[in-house]
Amino acid sequence: MDFTSPLRVVASGLDGPVLEAIVRADRPLTGREVARVLGQSSHSGVRGALRRLVAQGVVTSLPAGRAHIYLFNRDHVAAAHIEALVRTPTEVVRRLRQTIAAWEVPAVWAVVTGPMADGVATADDSIDLLLLRSDEIDEDDPAWRAQVESAARALSAWTGNDVRVSEFAVDDVERGIGAPELRAAMADGIDLVGSPGAHEATVAVHMDR
């Protein structure tokens, strides 16, 4: 799925992004303002999407001088479903947190990194998951391996995106292994469970290797 515009799941062309911009707005928007939000230099495509959305009743058009303003029709029977789609990235994170928190073999730290963490993931991007495990758990431990692979399959099923898992043991961190990935995760990642915690100082010390 395209995390930059979740409504593309059910709306083609500009209709999804235009509707999402209106749903997220805290006030009515003119067509030009919608185009500006979307970074569209041409307004014709935006106008066409607005006409279609008004015809469907999910967007209301009101005259405002020589222009029109547009707002989301929250009374529409589909409104709650549309808002739920807009919140899809948050729902994916919630599900992932719930799944990993229930692991029989707990992770020291689990975090989403990469394009999804940066809010720019599209359907062509992988979802990057970084895991930090205890030194007491071997990477080939059957219980650990099963839950990691199960979570990756579930995440791909929820989104349609490929899933890329990077994992390190605490001892790896202390030896400076995976420094770029860990540095990025600490700076910009979306925490799921745990944290570097007691190892945070060690992580910081070895980040510059």
For residues 53 and 133, what is the distance between their CA atoms, to the nearest angstrom?
48
Judge residue 143's burial from the number of C-beta atoms within 10 Å of its C-beta, 0-12 exposed, 13-18 middle, 19 or more buried: exposed
* Higher pLDDT, residue 86 or 207: 86
- What does 45-113 look like in DSSP terms, one character per residue? HHHHHHHHHHHHTSEEEEEETTEEEEEE-TTSTTHHHHHHHHTHHHHHHHHHHHHHHT-SS--SEEEEE
For the segment 21-48, the average pLDDT, to the nearest whole number, is 91
Question: In which band, very low, low, confident or very high, does the pLDDT at 197 lie, cut at 50, 70 and 90?
Answer: low
pLDDT tens figures, 35-52: 999 988 778 899 999 999
Does the structure show a pLDDT above 80 at 204?
no
| Kind and range of the H or E run holding 36 | helix 31-38
The answer to whether the CB of 116 falls within 8 A of the CB of 3 is: yes
Crossing angle between the packed helical segments 15-24 and 31-38, to the nearest 10 degrees: 100
Q: What percent of the chain has pLDDT over 90?
A: 71
Does the structure show a pLDDT above 80 at 129?
yes
pLDDT tens figures, 69-92: 999 999 999 999 999 999 999 999
